Amino acid sequence: MSDEVLIPLCNAGELQDGGLAVPFDVVYFGQTCRAFAIRFEGQAHAYVNRCTHVAMEMDYQPNHFFDPTGRWLMCATHGAVYAPDTGACRGGPCRGGLAKIPLTEHDGVVHWHTAYNLQPVEF
């Protein structure tokens, strides 16, 4: 039996291909941090907002993660580049890929999935 829970994140229409990300907070391995959801080639994807080169947030302006071509996610600080669909490092100074957060779209709503190492922030 899984302890996984689906947490509503946003309306599906809020995620546009190559557009602005929808930010959200998570507890990842016991630390509260930012995460973000994007849409790429019609599919929603989410990641912990932490560059693998230096553990800092990647967006250069709030919710801007795509490079100017709309093809790659880019860390604004050091230029590490990641594949939007997998989070894999594709160039620049990165050590491995981004931490992916599973998403599900159902009835026009995007949900993220909890896991043993990924929980909602308790208020």
Please report whether residue 99 resides in a domain: yes
- Does the structure show a pLDDT above 80 at 60? no
State which residues form the domain around 47: 6-120
Per residue in 29-56, pLDDT (tens digit) is 999 999 999 999 999 999 999 888 777 7
CATH number of the CATH domain containing 101: 2.102.10.10
Residues 6+ apart with CB under 8 A from 72: 66, 81, 82, 83, 84, 90, 91
Domain count, the chain: 1
The tokens for 25 are 């907070």
Does residue 30 lie within any of the structural domains? Answer: yes
- The pTM (predicted TM-score) of the whole model is 0.92
> Is residue 1 assigned to a domain?
no
Q: Is 7 helix (H, G, I), strand (E, B) or coil?
A: strand
Q: Is 113 contained in some domain?
A: yes
110: Cα within 13 Å, side-chain hemisphere:
24
Q: Which residue has the higher pLDDT, 51 or 114?
A: 114
Check: CB of residue 37 under 8 Å from CB of residue 45.
yes
Q: pLDDT digits over 19-28, tens only?
A: 999 999 999 9
